[in-house]
Structure 1
Amino acid sequence: MTQMDVKPGATTTTELSGLVRSVAADPSADALHELERRADEVSIRAFGDDDPAAELEAQRFLYEVYAHRILPPWSPDWRDYTDPVVVNAHRRVGDAWLARDRKVYGAGLEIPTTPEGFGKWATVVCEEHASGVTHPLFDFLAERATFEQLREFQAQETPFDIHFGDLVALLLPGIHGGQKIELAGNFWDEMGNGKLAGTHRQLRLDMMKRIGVPADDYLSNVDFYWVEELRMANMYFQTSADRSLAPQAIGMLQATELVVPGRLERQIEGWRRVGLTDAEMHYLLEHVVVDVEHAEGWLNHVIAPLAAARPDMLPEVAIGILRRLDCALAVCDRAMRDIA
């Protein structure tokens, strides 16, 4: 299936994403009431009853609001999702998801509470998790995938990847000292060290253009994306935008830096096999280098000081790591089903 195909089960105006777009255009009392009602109904079905169709609707709604609300109002894609009813409906859906995940990952969670002990725990958990480079997906991408299959996987990863610099930026306010320096260094790498052509967003857009992935699908064709990919993007938006969830965001970013480089190396092998030059996949090659550096810096300069000062925050960091890893595993499993 190409990105321009219409997927079965695409969003309708009676589903949350369609409703909230209608509300942005015409915030009538009836439309706002229906949005509230539908949000509560879908939350129960998605995160209480584990209804897959309801979770897809919920994740599309969460992403629709996150991805458009972060834009400035002069963007042609910006939508006015500032009405208190919209904000509250969006928050309630996200809270229902978070409550479900806290039960899953928080129950019986035992972790070391010293900086060194927690760092070792996090490293081992990430390196041994089934979402890593040992997942069969990465042998497939490296050794057997066609150009079209590699493109499909690259396209699916857009909702999270395209926003990464903004997600790091959301964590910066109010954090100081060595932790801010590490965050700022990560952000500066995302910004191409001050060179527009080298920003990671631009490098990704350049690669997307080369392989035929539409640049604006992450805003205009959200129904294209798997629920697993929307879940990944929403998880980072949720924890980066809500200051009370910053410890989870820190854990998620640590997991990202630890597991991504090996996975990218296998994808690079696959792209080389089907004819892409290193210059055409600068985006992937850049991350193999910088993410290794950031993984160590993140442990030593962000998580270790937090562990020393506030060990009571470490369970939240751990939940962030575990949520991120299992979300990545779901993406890998879905890719094996739909692409391989």
Structure 2
Amino acid sequence: MTATASEHTQANAFTAQLHSAFPEHGTPDPRARETLLARLHAHYVSYMAGPESFASIPRLNSDPELTAVEDAWLRWEDAQVDMSRLPATGKEFKDWFLTVADQHTQPEFCEYLAHKASLEEMALFFMGEELVDSKFDDLMAMVQIGTEGHTKLTIAENYWDEMGEGELDAVHTRMFEHSAVYMRARLADAGVDRSRLHCPEAFENACLLLMYGIHRHLNPRALGAMGVLEQSASPRFQAMVDGCDRLGVPADVIDYQRVHVHVDADHGAEWFDGVFVPLVDRSPELLREISLGVATRVRVANAYYQRIWHVMRDLTS
């Protein structure tokens, strides 16, 4: 087979995989979806490498296949949103946003975390959250680019909280890693393979904010997605704290989660007033993009929490 013929065969295989993962009609193929989203996740994380890795940081959109995955995924996600139910004016946005955010709190899952999850199940959930939480401070820094006035100050204040208000051991990603070290050890002790977390929903949940944050033209969607995350996260963190207390997890291991019970509640209100209010009346197009970020984050995250709950319960079934 010639090189050209081989390339043609590979291109056809990729196209078929793409259509399987993000079909216009029918049910997506989970394996194809996980494979492509895992590749996309590795690509996004490489943009956030440290200065010492400068030579290996990829250029934006240098890989046509990754661009094709992004485009297909965005089209697929947009098709899941009922555009007629998005707010048409800034005045409508508040009630719509609060209603949608309320659908993102997963009360049954939180009840399970607080009162029923085993230590191994809780540890597995912590590891699932690592894909997003370990990069959250970088995402917060990225979404402020190009903002101004009260919006920039609101995001800056949020970022300063992420930085532990200048105290190294209180930096949120550092606190989360302390939690993660403990939970990784519990899974290792129990012989639980963390690859159980490898599923399309986990990579969707991780990739969505990374894609929105990395690509500047998707910044309004990033602001929407991060706003609804901040608005709705407190009940989950409270459930994690309650569950870990019930299981006898050392108090220092859950400092990160305990802090976020109150911090995210404050951030949600501040984000609405400081980020959304100045922007949603700028133009119908901007309002639509912010709203799409909100709606898509809720769909993706709800699917992720349902899937990881299923994976957790499989440990004890």
Q: Could you tell me the TM-score, scaled by structure 2's length?
A: 0.86
Give the secondary-structure state (helix, strand or coil) at the position aligned to 2:181: helix
2:209 to 219, 229, 236: 236
Is residue 43 of structure 2 the alignment partner of residue 65 of structure 1? yes
Moved more, 46-55 or 247-256: 46-55
Alpha-carbon distance in 2 for matches of 1:299, 1:335 = 29
C-alpha spacing 1:171/1:312, structure 2 compared with 1 (3 Å): same
Give the secondary-structure state (helix, strand or coil) at the position aligned to 1:308: coil
Cα-to-partner distance string for 1:286-340 (whole Å, 9 max, x where unaligned): 1111111111111111111101222431122111111111112112211232112
Is residue 142 of structure 2 the alignment partner of residue 187 of structure 1? no
1:51 to 12, 20, 29: 29
- Equivalent residue number for residue 94 of structure 1: 70
Alpha-carbon distance in 1 for matches of 2:7, 2:162 = 38
Is residue 276 of structure 2 the alignment partner of residue 298 of structure 1? no
- Equivalent residue number for residue 3 of structure 1: none
Is residue 287 of structure 2 the alignment partner of residue 314 of structure 1? yes
Alpha-carbon distance in 2 for matches of 1:328, 1:195 = 31
Alpha-carbon distance in 2 for matches of 1:251, 1:161 = 17
- Equivalent residue number for residue 211 of structure 1: 183
Equivalent residue pairs, number: 301
Q: RMSD in angstroms over aligned alpha carbons?
A: 2.6
Alpha-carbon distance in 2 for matches of 1:274, 1:31 = 55
Alpha-carbon distance in 2 for matches of 1:283, 1:289 = 11
Alpha-carbon distance in 1 for matches of 2:5, 2:145 = 38
What's the offset of the Cα at 1:112?
4.2
C-alpha spacing 1:275/1:32, structure 2 compared with 1 (3 Å): farther
Alpha-carbon distance in 1 for matches of 2:60, 2:66 = 11
- Equivalent residue number for residue 165 of structure 1: 137
The AA in structure 2 aligned to 1:199 is: V
Check the 8 A contact 1:228/1:331 in 2, yes or no. yes
1:253 to 219, 226, 229: 226
C-alpha spacing 1:156/1:63, structure 2 compared with 1 (3 Å): same
Give the secondary-structure state (helix, strand or coil) at the position aligned to 1:309: coil
C-alpha spacing 1:29/1:248, structure 2 compared with 1 (3 Å): farther
What's the offset of the Cα at 1:31?
9.9
C-alpha spacing 1:277/1:62, structure 2 compared with 1 (3 Å): same
What's the offset of the Cα at 1:81?
3.5
Alpha-carbon distance in 2 for matches of 1:244, 1:30 = 36
What's the offset of the Cα at 1:237?
0.9
Q: Could you tell me the TM-score, scaled by structure 1's length?
A: 0.81
The AA in structure 1 aligned to 2:243 is: G
C-alpha spacing 1:222/1:146, structure 2 compared with 1 (3 Å): closer
Alpha-carbon distance in 2 for matches of 1:189, 1:40 = 44
Cα-to-partner distance string for 1:137-180 (whole Å, 9 max, x where unaligned): 22111111111110011111111111111111111221111110
Higher helix share: 2
Unaligned runs of 5+ in 1: 1-27, 215-220
Identity, % of aligned pairs?
Answer: 24
Alpha-carbon distance in 1 for matches of 2:219, 2:60 = 25
What's the offset of the Cα at 1:210?
2.3
Alpha-carbon distance in 1 for matches of 2:12, 2:48 = 25
What's the offset of the Cα at 1:238?
1.0
What's the offset of the Cα at 1:277?
3.4
The AA in structure 1 aligned to 2:77 is: D
Check the 8 A contact 1:156/1:226 in 2, yes or no. no
Check the 8 A contact 1:111/1:118 in 2, yes or no. yes
What's the offset of the Cα at 1:258?
1.2
Check the 8 A contact 1:141/1:150 in 2, yes or no. yes
2:58 to 81, 87, 111: 81
Alpha-carbon distance in 2 for matches of 1:312, 1:202 = 38
- Equivalent residue number for residue 23 of structure 1: none
What's the offset of the Cα at 1:266?
1.0
The AA in structure 2 aligned to 1:182 is: T
